[in-house]
Structure 1
Amino acid sequence: MSIDIPSAEDFAELTQHRHPASVTVYVAPSGSSESRSPIGRNPEAAQLSLRTAVGEGVAQLAAAEVPTEDLDRITDAVDQLVDDRDFWSTQARSLAVFVSPLGLRAFRLMNNLRTHSGVGDRFDAGPLIRATTFAHSGFVLAVTKGSVRLLVLESDASCHEVELTGLPEDLGLELQTADNEGRMDRQRADGALRPKIQRRDYCSTVQEAVLRQINGSNHPLVLAASPDLEPAYREINTYRRLVEEGITANPASLGLDDLARRGRDVLDRNYAAQLADWREQFGTLRAHGRASAKLREIAKAATAGQVDVLLFDLTAEREGTIDEYGNVTPADEPSAHTYGLADEVAARVLRTGGTVKAVRGADLPDGARIAATFRSAS
């Protein structure tokens, strides 16, 4: 699949970067989220968008009298990326590219981000942070005898199927049992355990192909398996975000849209339960001085490395600055010297090993736009 999952170290590097000639570009194919095809199907269009955006950024930097050698380094780095054929062979839906005279970082993402670019003395990692920490996305794996489908459910309600590579053409023959529509296998001469072993082997083969596509992801996986294969897959599963609740209907009878709808229902229930537990914990910890829903308190705690879990409103737009001590100065309007306050707090939490989740406003406690639990009492 060739998807890049940003790590905490990646976020630390991107958010700590400072250089007056820094260019950020988010590239996505044109069209609605539902109609967008993977970048790898038409890499030339994405490459053109990238070159155009970087060219505009370089022109802005030139107008600001940035040295020519710095501009050349930026252009050369982008040219090398465009010439990297392996990079563009991907099922990614969008790209995030960060380039300065000091180097280039690029991430291929399954998220449908909007095309956006900017220049300044730092990278605009906010959209990347929000896209990769918003939990309303995941996978649905449909498994039946001889048929395997992997769906990606996007946070914008779109979905698409991912091609699984490396599966044998005669995959269904691994089971070597008659089609019994999910009922108990008939007793075989070579022992009652053999069908169970075959089902585990079959599911192991499927999981290997699935992990090649999603390993390293932090998104939940919903299982939709025929009744005979569901327990076997859960037994051999090693993906830590497999959701306990599955889709109970036999996936052989479900189309893509129906699988996606049922998968989202499972994800929504799972996520709602997690947030309810967190809000309850938040209330308990706040009573003991270990949680807050006030931006200024959270910013200072994040700067000191004291935030354990941060939740912030996905739509938060307030800009300003936060100094090295965590003091917040809101801005009346955005400028080249301001940035998203919630994004900056999130970046500081990620740099110090905390957990960050971008959520819908209704999921936050007390109508707040941001909330956090602390590692110790403030």
Structure 2
Amino acid sequence: MTIFERKDFERLAKVDQDPSVSIYMPTHQSGMETLTGQDAKLLKDKVHEAREWLIKKGYEKKDADDYLQKAYDLVEDTSFWRHQFDGLAVFLSNNFFEYYRVPLSFDDLVTVNQKFDLKPLLPLLSENDRFYLLTLSQQNVRLFEGNVTSLREVDISEKAPQSLEEALGKEEPEDELQHHAIPPSGSGGATQPVYHSHRSEAHEKQRELRKFFSRIDEGLREVLPSDPNNRTPLVIAGVDYLLPIYREVNSYKYLLPEGIQGNQDHEVLDRLHEKAWHIISTHFHDDVEKTKERFNRVYGAGKASEIIDEIIVNAQSGLIDTLFLERGVDFWGKVDLSQNKIEQHKNYEDGDECLLNLSAVSTILTGGQVYLLDRDDLPVTNSPAAAIFRN
């Protein structure tokens, strides 16, 4: 499984052709739902629901089935269902088909519109929901992607060595050694070599570990997001003497100074998530509080706002640096910037867009940051959204 990145979000956001089908659903890694094929049955139901949408849009039944064929194929792919996580997102349009298995359990949802519905994916890009965990030992290396509720392993076996032995092989550090000859005991004849290390055994071990960790870091560069706007934190775990050595060679910008002490090779996933979240939640809280303080500092100077219309206009113009949104809230309406017209509706009306989703997508596409927060954690109390504008 690969990590869902901002570049994936951007690619989905650029698809602009009717009909664009979005399907979200929860999935299971194990249990009766997996054994009895319940996840596959749910996807089949969701594809049928999309079919009904297409028929309402004027498609003949056969044409609707043909349009959705790749999604139907996924339903029947038994190998696909053996490798699931918490949620599945499927996107299908003309000459476009992609799906993502992610560490986020979705409510099941089907939309058929001009553009894909990306709002359910926002927690994967939010500044206060996502993190990485790297567990290190001389025998085992694992990378995890996590959020507030779950943790899932990311396969890095083809990118980075999985053990010290794999990294070093059977190499002999000859350049580190010198020798001289002495006669064998009890004999006046042939001599035998005696080796002396330039460095102590401890220093030699550190050299090996540094080389091992350098190769891990090199592999992670191909796995962790390279997007300059990425700020997803990384936590490392391992016995105490390993962590400072890894920090010396690390090149990932957002490695946190706190780590999990002790060997985690045999730790159960739930407990591992608990340990990581203890560190991450403190980091996220501090980051959110600092950003809210920045909002309050610039608010009086007109460089921040909680007014929905102002946020939408600035988001569409690429002028939002940071966007705060109330988690789980939809705010419906229509936008026509060519006419400088924004309609807000209390309830969904035909042709509406979620204005908060529209603002979030525009902010992400223009390199801004998005925070999804509970209402009590927003920097304002009178709006489900607030934004800091670019200078």
Q: Is TM more than 0.5 here?
A: yes
Aligned to 2:207: 197
Deviation at 1:170, TM superposition (A): 5.9
Give the secondary structure class of the aligned counterpart of 1:140: strand
Give the secondary structure class of the aligned counterpart of 2:315: helix
Deviation at 1:266, TM superposition (A): 0.9
Q: Is the 8 A contact 2:132 2:233 kept in 1?
A: yes
* CA distance, structure 2, for counterparts of residue 144 and residue 352 of structure 1: 39
Give the secondary structure class of the aligned counterpart of 1:366: coil
* CA distance, structure 2, for counterparts of residue 135 and residue 42 of structure 1: 34
The amino acid across from 1:165 in the alignment is: S
Which segment drifts farther, 260-269 or 319-328? 319-328
Structure 2: runs of 5 or more not aligned: 170-195
* CA distance, structure 1, for counterparts of residue 330 and residue 354 of structure 2: 6
Aligned to 1:26: 24
Q: Is the 8 A contact 1:130 1:314 kept in 2?
A: no
Aligned to 2:14: 13
Structure 1: runs of 5 or more not aligned: 31-35, 177-187
Relative to the length of structure 2, the TM-score reads 0.76
1:371 aligns with 2:389: no
The amino acid across from 1:330 in the alignment is: Q
* CA distance, structure 2, for counterparts of residue 171 and residue 293 of structure 1: 53
* CA distance, structure 2, for counterparts of residue 293 and residue 236 of structure 1: 43
Q: Is the 8 A contact 1:140 1:259 kept in 2?
A: no
Aligned to 2:182: none
Aligned to 2:254: 241
Q: Is the 8 A contact 1:3 1:90 kept in 2?
A: no
* CA distance, structure 1, for counterparts of residue 272 and residue 127 of structure 2: 21
Aligned to 1:63: 56
The CA deviation string for residues 308-360 of structure 1, in whole angstroms up to 9 with x for no partner, is 22121112222222222564322232244223221111122233332223233
Q: Aligned to 2:106, which of 108, 113, 116?
A: 113
Alignment of 1:261-300 (within 5 A): 261-300=274-313
Q: Let me know the Cα RMSD of the aligned residues.
A: 3.5
Alignment of 1:127-142 (within 5 A): 127-133=120-126, 135-142=128-135
Which segment drifts farther, 161-170 or 345-354? 161-170
Aligned to 1:185: none
Deviation at 1:194, TM superposition (A): 2.1
Aligned to 2:150: 158
Relative to the length of structure 1, the TM-score reads 0.79
Which segment drifts farther, 337-346 or 87-96? 87-96
Give the secondary structure class of the aligned counterpart of 2:260: coil
* CA distance, structure 2, for counterparts of residue 170 and residue 309 of structure 1: 41
* CA distance, structure 2, for counterparts of residue 43 and residue 111 of structure 1: 22
Deviation at 1:161, TM superposition (A): 4.4
Structure-2 change in CA distance of 1:273 and 1:78 (3 Å): same
Deviation at 1:247, TM superposition (A): 2.3
Deviation at 1:57, TM superposition (A): 1.3
* CA distance, structure 2, for counterparts of residue 4 and residue 245 of structure 1: 25
Give the secondary structure class of the aligned counterpart of 1:365: coil
Aligned to 1:184: none
Structure possessing the higher radius of gyration over alpha carbons: 2
1:345 aligns with 2:338: no
Give the secondary structure class of the aligned counterpart of 2:197: coil
Deviation at 1:214, TM superposition (A): 4.3
The amino acid across from 1:111 in the alignment is: L
Structure-2 change in CA distance of 1:42 and 1:324 (3 Å): farther
* CA distance, structure 1, for counterparts of residue 167 and residue 320 of structure 2: 49
Q: Is the 8 A contact 1:139 1:220 kept in 2?
A: yes
Aligned to 2:137: 144
Q: Is the 8 A contact 1:23 1:57 kept in 2?
A: yes
* CA distance, structure 2, for counterparts of residue 288 and residue 366 of structure 1: 16
Aligned to 1:329: 343
The amino acid across from 1:284 in the alignment is: R
Which segment drifts farther, 239-248 or 82-91? 82-91
Structure-2 change in CA distance of 1:277 and 1:49 (3 Å): same
* CA distance, structure 2, for counterparts of residue 45 and residue 5 of structure 1: 28
Deviation at 1:13, TM superposition (A): 0.8
Structure-2 change in CA distance of 1:342 and 1:268 (3 Å): same
Q: Is the 8 A contact 2:103 2:152 kept in 1?
A: no
Aligned to 2:179: none
Give the secondary structure class of the aligned counterpart of 1:262: helix
Structure-2 change in CA distance of 1:204 and 1:339 (3 Å): same
* CA distance, structure 1, for counterparts of residue 163 and residue 311 of structure 2: 56
Alignment of 1:303-318 (within 5 A): 303-318=316-331
* CA distance, structure 2, for counterparts of residue 279 and residue 128 of structure 1: 23
The amino acid across from 1:29 in the alignment is: T
Structure-2 change in CA distance of 1:102 and 1:335 (3 Å): farther
* CA distance, structure 2, for counterparts of residue 197 and residue 81 of structure 1: 48
* CA distance, structure 2, for counterparts of residue 67 and residue 101 of structure 1: 16
The CA deviation string for residues 267-295 of structure 1, in whole angstroms up to 9 with x for no partner, is 11111111122112112222221111221
State the identity %.
25
* CA distance, structure 2, for counterparts of residue 54 and residue 173 of structure 1: 45
For these two proteins, the number of residue pairs brought into alignment is: 354
* CA distance, structure 1, for counterparts of residue 304 and residue 199 of structure 2: 58
Aligned to 1:358: 372
Structure-2 change in CA distance of 1:136 and 1:168 (3 Å): closer
